[in-house]
Amino acid sequence: MTNRPSYILFITDQQRYDHLGCNGHPVLQTPNIDAMASEGVNHDRFYVASPVCMPNRASLMTCRMPSSHGTRSLGIPLARENVTFVELLAAAGYDTCLIGKSHLQNVSDWDVQIEPPEHREGYAVPPKELAVAKRSDLDNETFQYERQAYWDRADPTVPLPFYGFSEYVSVLRHGFNTGGDHLEWLKANASDTLGLRGRDQQFAHGYTVPQAIRTRVPEEHYSTSYIADRTADWLKAREDNETPFLLVVSFPDPHHPFTPPGKYWDMYKPEDMPVPIAYETDDWDPPEYVKSAEHARASDPTLGQMAGYSLAVSKQEALQARALTCGMISMIDDAVGQVRKAASDAGVAENTVQIYTSDHGDHLGEHRLLFKGAEQYDSLTHVPFIWADPKGAQCTRSDDLAQTLDIGTTILEHAKIEPSIGMQGVVLPVVGGAGRDAAHIQYETQRTQKAFGTRPRVHTIVHQNWRLSMYLGKCPNELFDLAADPDEMSNLWTSDEHKDVKADLLERLAELEIAAVDRVPLPTAQA
């Protein structure tokens, strides 16, 4: 068992593929992550299973699509009936630890946004316990460990194991307002910082993009530093421990609000950022959801101050968001460097695979939008993935298609552990697997959006050089030629010239949907 490899999985929140130095960003400097890429395989075509936090993080853990593990949208905790790849590692003798953001459960106490159905006069109304077609216990205390109300208790503790992790150091939420173990640590070790965390306490600045907050929280007390410090401590304690491990290092940044602390705030200038093409061309007829977002923002300029769904922004706002995002990523890069050094100092680096990815992207001005939503643009679905195995390929780029749900199955294969029946991830070529020929992406939300005429449900296929998306609702479906139109500005759905391509992609999408139908639970008898 002592010869089995260990794993450090770095995951960020809301980081696009192109926001790394090694992935071609013209300004952002990420020397530590770039060094990791040079020591392994950097994947150029890695996609999420869903372009929002909870569903995709659940896919990472379960190696299953959202329609199978049940966390189809934000607001649905990951049910314990799902087996995680972390549990399989633990059962095989691995130590397992999560430091940072989980977001496998709800992190807010906000009410649901689904409107109750209107009942017809003269019809019997189902009692509450029968009103929904499937019974669920996801609102009990077992699924409330990431809510602030739980942490406001006198002695909050999260029962272990937590989805397979035998150790869990929690950081809840984002920016200056993080909670969980991070907040408890601040109370005990840096109580003066608590009064600096509010939006009203920020330094003055001239940024106008929504949720730009120049926090007074010092760099050393910010969540990114806290996670790096706790991770370094954990690795140092393993100097004489030969048990293999999985260590997940999960940063809440660069997710909005835009709050890079200290020197990271003005590390990059908006005027130096690349300008999204949607602000530079007159030859683009925006889709209805962009027009709807622009109308909503014009009607209410305060939109976006709190929520994080797709928001129309000006060119200047987009460039400001990009500069601040780069600042947060540079801080993450420094933290990655600290962790990598700690692994080397502890003598575990030579037998540890280091992995880097993100849970989804951010528009950051692409198509004149900010944040994330039902849109299936590359800026949301395409994220970094680096696999750095000290005993594997070095300084290699891969154009193999891959997805978030493939990470766990690839780790299990590399560790020589069989997956659970019903896991849907594939083994990637980086460890000798066949990989996949298409990416399959599912999106759902509980919030009705005007542009879509309903609560959007969108399923997407990325195959070869094409992206096809089917929208439930009044929004037109989409077909993009990613080779000829990498910025996804020309929707070819109604093009007669491309009807055969569309038909082929629809057939392949149908195959993927069939494959994603859950195979568990297994039958209990033949008849």
Q: For 412, phi and psi rounded to 5 degrees?
A: -60, -45
Residue 2 reports pLDDT greater than 70: no
DSSP string, 242-286: -S-EEEEEEEEEESSSB---GGGTTSS-GGGSPPPGGGT-S----
Residue 257 reports pLDDT greater than 70: yes
Beta-bridge partners for 234: none
For the segment 60-86, the average pLDDT, to the nearest whole number, is: 97
Q: Which region holds residue 115: left if phi is over 0, alpha if psi is between -120 and 50, else beta? A: beta
Q: Go through the domains of the chain in sequence order and give each one's CATH number.
A: 6-112+136-516 (3.40.720.10)
For CA atoms 205, 227, 174, 46, the dihedral sign is positive
* Spatial distance between the Cα atoms of 2 and 386, rounded to a whole number of angstroms: 25
Residue 138 reports pLDDT greater than 70: yes
pTM of this structure = 0.97
**Residue type for position 413:** E
pLDDT of residue 1: 42
For the segment 208-220, the average pLDDT, to the nearest whole number, is: 98
Q: Are 427 and 393 in contact (CB under 8 A)?
A: no
* Spatial distance between the Cα atoms of 393 and 428, rounded to a whole number of angstroms: 13
Q: What separation in angstroms does the CA of 361 have from each of 157, 208, 255? A: 32, 22, 9
* Spatial distance between the Cα atoms of 275 and 379, rounded to a whole number of angstroms: 14
User: What are 440-453's pLDDT values in tens digits?
Assistant: 999 999 988 877 87
Q: Are 90 and 96 in contact (CB under 8 A)?
A: yes
Residue 169 reports pLDDT greater than 70: yes
Contacts of 234 (CB under 8 A, 6+ apart): 97, 99, 167, 247
Q: Of 306, 317, 291, 316, whose CA–CA distance to 375 is shortest?
A: 291
Residue 290 reports pLDDT greater than 70: yes
* Spatial distance between the Cα atoms of 379 and 402, rounded to a whole number of angstroms: 16
* Spatial distance between the Cα atoms of 527 and 355, rounded to a whole number of angstroms: 45
Residue 383 reports pLDDT greater than 80: yes
Q: Are 102 and 168 in contact (CB under 8 A)?
A: yes
Residue 308 reports pLDDT greater than 80: no
Please, which pLDDT band fits residue 154 given cuts at 50, 70 and 90?
Answer: confident
Residue 30 reports pLDDT greater than 70: yes
Q: Of 71, 45, 58, 31, whose CA–CA distance to 445 is shortest?
A: 71
Q: Which helix (H) or strand (E) holds 8?
A: strand 6-13
Look over the chain and give the mean of its residue pLDDT values, rounded to a whole number. Answer: 96
Tokens 């730009």 identify what position?
A: 212
* Spatial distance between the Cα atoms of 71 and 77, rounded to a whole number of angstroms: 6
Residue 469 reports pLDDT greater than 60: yes
Contacts of 450 (CB under 8 A, 6+ apart): 292, 296
User: What are 351-376's pLDDT values in tens digits?
Assistant: 999 999 999 999 999 999 999 999 99
pLDDT of residue 19: 98
- Token pair of 389 as six digits: 């195995």
For the segment 271-286, the average pLDDT, to the nearest whole number, is: 96
DSSP string, 350-414: GGEEEEEEES----TTGGGEESB-S---HHHHB--EEEE-TTS--SEEE--BEETHHHHHHHHHH
Residue 215 reports pLDDT greater than 90: yes
pLDDT of residue 53: 97
